[in-house]
Amino acid sequence: MNYKYETHLHTAQGSACSCMTGAEAAEFFKSLGYTGIFITDHFFNGNTAVPKMENWEKRVSLFCEGYKDAYKKGWEIGLDVFFAFEFQYSGTHFLVYNLDEDWIKSHPEIMDLRPVDFLNFVKSEGGLVIQAHPFREAVYIEFMRLFPRHVDAVEYMNSSDTEDFRKMAKMYADHYRLPGFAGSDIHSTARKSLGGLEFETRITDSAHFVELFKKGDYKLFIDEY
């Protein structure tokens, strides 16, 4: 038996560009036979739905509402739900796994770190960092930045991207001998093209996900529904 996971998903609670709640996302992927999903809402330096406020801990708690909504629904219907987030620098996006709400609350200084310093710090803390859709062209992307020495993998199978963007991202990953990554970058249950990772072992938690990924025990996929 294989276990399918959505790895790049935005909820309306955490991402201003999404039009589905965490609960709706959980129900959608359960209906498609997925084992689990990772909630990767846009952080405060991206297209966040969370308003600015001085209270850092309260702001982080609000940021995690989409994940908590999905987790609650997932518990009810039998879908595994994991927390992650998408960090941004002027259109350059990084997916961060294996660091939780408490970790973010303890590190408000991450908002002031240079990109390389942020990436190095996250990895030193046990986080897995993926450069998301590195060759995407869009109005919100000022220019492309590449960090091949500071990320763990490259999302070259993003089902929201064109085939040309995917091909360039794969060439980049292959050149630097970086593992590939896949996800949907989904914002709506109306999406018909979805991507993610498939494992032969069911993931127990984020640390287990990182362990399996670093071993290469997974397959990338993009499916059309």
**pLDDT value at position 1?**
67
The C-alpha atoms of residue 96 and residue 107 are separated, in whole angstroms, by 14
Q: Which two tokens stand for residue 38?
A: 């990772």
* Domain housing 111: 3-224
**pLDDT value at position 225?**
81
The C-alpha atoms of residue 183 and residue 222 are separated, in whole angstroms, by 8
Number of structural domains found in the chain: 1
Other CB atoms within a 10 A radius of the CB of residue 1 amount to 6
For 206-212, what is the mean pLDDT?
97
pLDDT digits (tens, 9 = 90+) for 110-120: 999 999 999 99
**pLDDT value at position 63?**
98
Please report, as a single letter, which amino acid is at residue 196: G
pLDDT digits (tens, 9 = 90+) for 127-181: 999 999 999 887 787 888 999 999 999 999 999 988 999 999 999 999 999 999 9
The C-alpha atoms of residue 104 and residue 89 are separated, in whole angstroms, by 17
The C-alpha atoms of residue 191 and residue 33 are separated, in whole angstroms, by 15
pLDDT digits (tens, 9 = 90+) for 7-64: 999 999 999 999 999 999 999 999 999 999 999 999 999 999 999 999 999 999 999 9
Look-up: residue for tokens 């039009």?
A: 19
Question: Domain of 67: which CATH number?
Answer: 3.20.20.140
Q: Which of 26, 94, 110, 20 is nearest to 60 (CA)?
A: 110
pTM equals: 0.96
